[in-house]
Amino acid sequence: MSKFLNKWTALAVVVILLVLAGLKVQDWHQLWVIASAPDNIPIVAMLFLVPFFTWLGIKQALANDRLVEQLEGDTKLAKSHHRKVEPWRPVWAREIHVWPYLVRVEFLATL
């Protein structure tokens, strides 16, 4: 990342935007009545959950990209890194059924 665009700059921008949004609200009681209605509780929860899981996904994606770059540069490490330690056993299934296969099985079961 560049020197300007780092996690502290992003955090400062988010805090400034939240403060400006808080200053814009004129009637906090009406906002509380609307937000605390039973219908709106999941929506209010999503205001916090969606940004958190978006950040978590981006963090994991960046870590994965760094790992790919590291393993592309070192072929010896790429052959041993993130590999299974146990060999294949005959009792294990040779095929792993994935989503389209399972959907087809469920569709045929409904017929």
pLDDT in tens, the chain (111 residues): 556 667 788 888 889 998 998 888 888 898 889 888 999 999 999 989 998 999 899 999 999 899 888 888 888 887 777 666 677 778 877 777 777 878 888 888 888
Is 32 part of a structural domain of the chain?
yes
Is 12 part of a structural domain of the chain?
yes
Q: What is the pLDDT of residue 5?
A: 66
CA-to-CA dists, residue 31 to 24, 34, 46, angstroms: 12, 5, 16
Is 89 part of a structural domain of the chain?
no
Q: What is the pLDDT of residue 81?
A: 73
| Structural domain count, the chain | 2
Is 102 part of a structural domain of the chain?
no
Residue 34: other Cβ atoms inside 10 A = 13
CA pair distance 44, 83, nearest whole angstrom: 42
Q: What is the pLDDT of residue 2?
A: 57
Range of the domain at 65: 47-84
